[in-house]
Homo-oligomer: A and B are copies of this chain.
């Protein structure tokens, strides 16, 4: 099987670097173009990420794959769309709003940006949760007059683990209300400047602008149902408090959940474990063996110890226990890797799912 030719846009930024780190040896995709803004365009990739003081601005834990070092950086607005079969974009929302529709005329676009998440004809895909929403892409093409391309963004990173943990609960017991308090990693804020040391050492920040709204809206869209030319949001209520803590990677979330039917904590754990097994059979290269790891150790999940479960693609859930403030309630804690499953690798997983379904490729 010939690999699909992939362009990575915003390749010098944090999300772009994560795409490159994850695509160095991908069995289905081969990066044939990297693109960025004018500041970087025309340079070799390694030069584009080297500061004037000699510091290499590569911020992934994994090393920069050697094959990308000398690749020329294209100007994002002039990316040669004939030379790629698929584009991953890791740019800011404003830039996405300009670039992505231009790309989508020619090729599929899978994006980490929020620009189009709330459009009626745009699904927000989390492959294990709502792969069926991919059918909305045909509607999108029809409505927008795009023949080959489309835009499909992944969700906000804070929402990803939540939707995954809720999915088996929704299916098995029904959900009425969800209260979630997040303790989010600094990496989610990026590096420009992101969270500064003086604000986070011996401290936490109880507010992340627009984050709670994203969580509340996107969770219901992702867990909603295809209906006509759009998605009918899930019928439960979601309320979030989003905070930032002194953790580098991995979002931790305390979830309190009102159910439609009674369920013992153990039944919830069983439902999660059963559903998580579907990962084993999907055959997508970036999928973990189990979508959810349900942990018995009451002190887990912890972000540092659990974020890297199955290379950051599994959601870890622990402390599954009854929530007695509801007639039918369960509460638990989850950890999800915000810059792996919640960002570039999550987008790659979407591409894999779409390829497996024949939507691309």
Using a CB–CB cutoff of 8 Å, the interface residues on chain A facing chain B are 53-56, 59, 177-179, 181, 183, 186-187, 191-207, 209, 216, 237-239, 241, 243, 245-248, 252, 254, 256, 296-305, 318-319, 323-326, 329, 331, 333
17 contacts between A and B (CB under 8 A): A55-B298, A59-B198, A177-B326, A181-B181, A193-B194, A195-B197, A198-B248, A202-B202, A203-B302, A203-B303, A205-B302, A206-B252, A206-B301, A207-B298, A207-B299, A209-B298, A237-B326
With A56-B297, A198-B191, A203-B304 known as contacts, the answer to whether A245 contacts B248 (CB < 8 A) is no
Copies, count: 4
Residue of B nearest to A195 (CB): B197
Of the residues B209, B248, B305, contact of A53 by C-beta under 8 Å: B209
What residues on B are CB-neighbors of A329 within 8 Å? 239
Do B248 and A246 touch (CB < 8 A)?
Answer: no
* Least CB distance, A56 to chain B, in whole angstroms: 6
Of the residues B201, B205, B318, contact of A201 by C-beta under 8 Å: B201
Query: Considering the chains assembled together, what is the distance between the CA atoms of A125 and B186 in angstroms?
Result: 39
Do A204 and B303 touch (CB < 8 A)?
Answer: yes
Of the residues B191, B202, B319, contact of A207 by C-beta under 8 Å: B319
